[in-house]
Amino acid sequence: MNRIIEHPVIDQGQAKPEVHFTFDGSPLTGFRGEAISSALFAAGIKKFSEHVKDGTPQGIFCANGQCSQCSLIVDGVLRKACVTLLRDGMDLRTVRGLPELPADDRPAASTRIRRIAAEVLIIGGGPSGLAAAAELAERGFSVVLADDKADLGGKLVLQTHKFFGSEEDCYAGTRGYDIAKILEKKVRAYPNVRILANSPVVGIYKDRAAGVYENYEHYLLVDFQALVVAAGARERSLVFPGNDLVGVYGAGAFQTLVNRDLVRAASKVFVIGSGNVGLIGSYHALQAGIQVAGICEILPKVNGYKVHADKIVRMGVPIYLNTTVLSVEGDGKVERVTIAVVDKDWNPLLDTARTFEVDTVLVATGLSPCDEFYRQAVSFGFTAVKAGDAEEIAEASSAMFGGKIAALALAKMLGRDVSIDQAWLDKREVLKSRPGDTVCRDEPVMGQTWKPVFFCNEEIPCNPCATVCPTHSILLSPRKGSLLDLPYFQGENCKGCSACVAACPGLAVSLVRLVDDVHAEVQIPFEFDASGYQAGQKLGLLDQDGGFVEEGELLKKFYNKKYRTWVLTFRMSAANSPKAIGVRIQPEEATRPLREPRFSYLPDEAIVCRCERVFVGEIVDYIKANNVRDVNQLKTIRVGMGACGSKTCSTLLPQIFRKAGVEPAAITPGSLRPLMLEAGMGDLVNEGYTEAAE
């Protein structure tokens, strides 16, 4: 079984009851209440269906209910494996082509549709939705919050790393899954908030009602006066040959498997994209015992926080800049990935190609906001706001403030006498800001007492090291006068407590003191299992950029329970001590390419519409031949007609139109589906309809 039994920062929690089920007739075991897709991955099964068009194997992509790649036959009915929870005795089967309808000629039974009401319906229980709910509840509004997951918190549930930002305002220094618990506990304490967990909103209607698929079993109508859309964001796909192979999926899906469900989802991964999601996803892979062959980024610089990138490089993962993915290949599943350097016009230089043997490729090239319900609400003339990633893709710390601000804006629209604190607006702008300048730091002057050394030199919103210092000796420099300023040490009053070392989200603080003219001691953070390290052991110490400094002698180790971080103390040379900040985790062999690249580069042979398997070349030819200027015209060749409701392919179509010589601004967008998520016909049917109100 591919289960993660031990993890350096995630508690296993209470053991879940084991259940028995079958897949294509073979008996398997899993945990009751886990996603079927996770149970299958744990059993080594990653192929869920064979496409009706050509029998191509299909695997997961988003693991978030937004696409249809994980569809299975569950007890005779087609279901999405990532949002269907495992029960004892389930009969699961591969979907081969078009599934047969269940044989049932009986008339539909009478359906009793429940109906509830609230002043405000919040769609989404992530950081922005929870923050909005608390703010509205404080002001006396009756609120219904509906979320498609059993556990509230959105992507916070998947985040095992410590967060940046302000400790006072957005729990900086706290791990994401702990922040989710804090926010959920706060919201559940309000008597005027009703939470519908594991219950996605599937549609909103002109009579100010929303259809909710309660527990993915029953259809519920919610009447509302106003709407907060905080539905988050979905994974972006990417166009390259082999992008539909089993084993190519989103980095968020990977985090769901590894961090939420503790499934070792791969042996070796390659990551496309160096934003924070790609960088953090790589780190999470290493913590789960999964090798990372590398990260490629088409831009000339890392797209995420430099401290994240530094941390990944120190662990032994190379980042290839100015580099794109040429192709992913394998026999029905991922077996290798080939990358190449690009020229100034973004064209790949084939003579620079290098191939890596991997079993998984993670796509981390951005997110698309789930704002369809907001756009529908506006078209209906409803009172509505959007918040979090549905409004603007940013960090969760920004989303919390965004939820508060959106809630107050909505309250004002509903006639309440409220005002939005300008300080909130200012803080939100800082929290969502891109990294600022890279600042050169002075060489630290060492002495006989402990002194912190800071390895963060890029301006990002972060202050845990300053807030945890018991002597208040760490301050933010006044360069910009905001949370973006870099920390520095003032005075000689360091107690060597290592709180700043353990709390830093970027693992970018060490403590150093001289022992004599030749030797020094250094404390560095470590978020892997250090239980096997022994005093006196020699370990290779690395600098900020992953370069070898020297071997240091481990003197002692200390596990900080609050921050779930080890602090390792080494004895090393005084001259090199200010440079040491990491220990390499991954061996160099894990990142070596094959001696000769192996690939076939066919740019038009890349999937755009995953559900219907429509290729780049097909769409380009059709656009040119038919002078297409309306996305809806592409439905003729089945583009956007699949089960995901065009959520995945719609973000790729602008670049396809450009390839066909048509500017996207001249194109009429595709129509929104009436229902944003599938619901069983038996749950929606109106025969014998009787309505019940609560």
Q: Hey, what are 357's tokens?
A: 């043997």
Q: Hey, what are 509's tokens?
A: 């603080």
pLDDT category at 689 given cuts 50, 70, 90 is very low
* Cα dihedral 453/459/462/467 (nearest 10): 50
Q: Hey, what are 375's tokens?
A: 């756009």
Burial of 119 (0-12, 13-18, 19+ CB in 10 A): middle
Distance CA 477, CA 484 (A): 9
The angle at the Cα of 382, spanning 377 to 385, to the nearest 5 degrees, equals: 70
Q: Hey, what are 452's tokens?
A: 């912190």
Cβ atoms of 649 and 237 closer than 8 Å = yes
Q: Say which range, 81-90, 102-111, 247-256, 544-553, has the weakest mean pLDDT.
A: 102-111
Q: Say which range, 86-90, 481-485, 520-524, has the weakest mean pLDDT.
A: 481-485
Q: How many CB atoms lie within 10 A of CB 586?
A: 17
- Angstrom distances, CA of residue 216 to CA of 63, 148, 370, 680: 16, 9, 19, 9
Residue 690 has pLDDT above 70, yes or no: no
pLDDT per position as a tens digit, 205-254: 999 999 999 999 888 999 999 999 999 999 999 999 999 999 999 999 99
Share of the chain above pLDDT 70, in %: 97
pLDDT of residue 687: 43
Cβ atoms of 363 and 297 closer than 8 Å = no
Q: Say which range, 253-257, 311-315, 412-416, 675-679, has the weakest mean pLDDT.
A: 675-679
Name all domains of the chain by residue range, CATH numbers in brackets: 1-101 (3.10.20.440), 113-233+369-431 (3.50.50.60), 451-590 (no CATH), 604-694 (no CATH)
pLDDT per position as a tens digit, 41-73: 999 999 999 999 999 999 999 999 999 899 999
- Three-state SS for 251? helix
DSSP secondary structure letters along 30-84:
EETTSBHHHHHHHTT----EE-TTT--EE--S-SSSSSSTTEEEETTEEEETTTS
Distance CA 404, CA 134 (A): 8
Q: How many CB atoms lie within 10 A of CB 188?
A: 14
Q: How many CB atoms lie within 10 A of CB 490?
A: 13
pLDDT per position as a tens digit, 246-299: 999 999 999 999 999 999 999 999 999 999 999 999 999 999 999 999 999 999
Residues 6+ apart with CB under 8 A from 213: 199, 200, 201, 202, 219, 220, 677, 679, 683
pLDDT of residue 680: 74
Residue 108 has pLDDT above 70, yes or no: no
Distance CA 575, CA 209 (A): 69
Query: Which is nearest to 310 in space by CA: 300, 319, 320?
Result: 319
pLDDT category at 639 given cuts 50, 70, 90 is very high
Question: Measured over all CA atoms, what is the biggest interatomic distance in the chain, rounded to whole angstroms?
Answer: 90
- Angstrom distances, CA of residue 416 to CA of 128, 136, 225: 21, 11, 14
Cβ atoms of 404 and 230 closer than 8 Å = no
Q: Say which range, 49-58, 377-386, 440-449, 677-686, has the weakest mean pLDDT.
A: 677-686
Which amino acid appears at position 382 of this protein? F
* DSSP secondary structure code for residue 333 in this structure: B
The angle at the Cα of 187, spanning 157 to 135, to the nearest 5 degrees, equals: 115
pLDDT per position as a tens digit, 505-558: 999 999 999 999 999 999 999 999 999 999 999 999 999 999 999 999 999 999
Q: Say which range, 28-37, 359-368, 600-609, 636-645, has the weakest mean pLDDT.
A: 600-609
pLDDT of residue 13: 77
Q: Is 254 left (phi over 0), alpha (psi -120 to 50) or beta?
A: alpha
Helices (H), ranges, 315-388: 372-380
Strands in 538-542's sheet, in edge-to-edge order, are 451-454, 509-514, 519-526, 565-573, 548-560, 538-542, 582-583
pLDDT of residue 217: 86
Residue 325 has pLDDT above 50, yes or no: yes
State the average pLDDT over residues 411-422. 92
State the average pLDDT over residues 96-122. 83
pLDDT per position as a tens digit, 134-165: 999 999 999 999 999 999 999 999 999 999 98
Share of the chain above pLDDT 90, in %: 83
State the average pLDDT over residues 13-42. 95
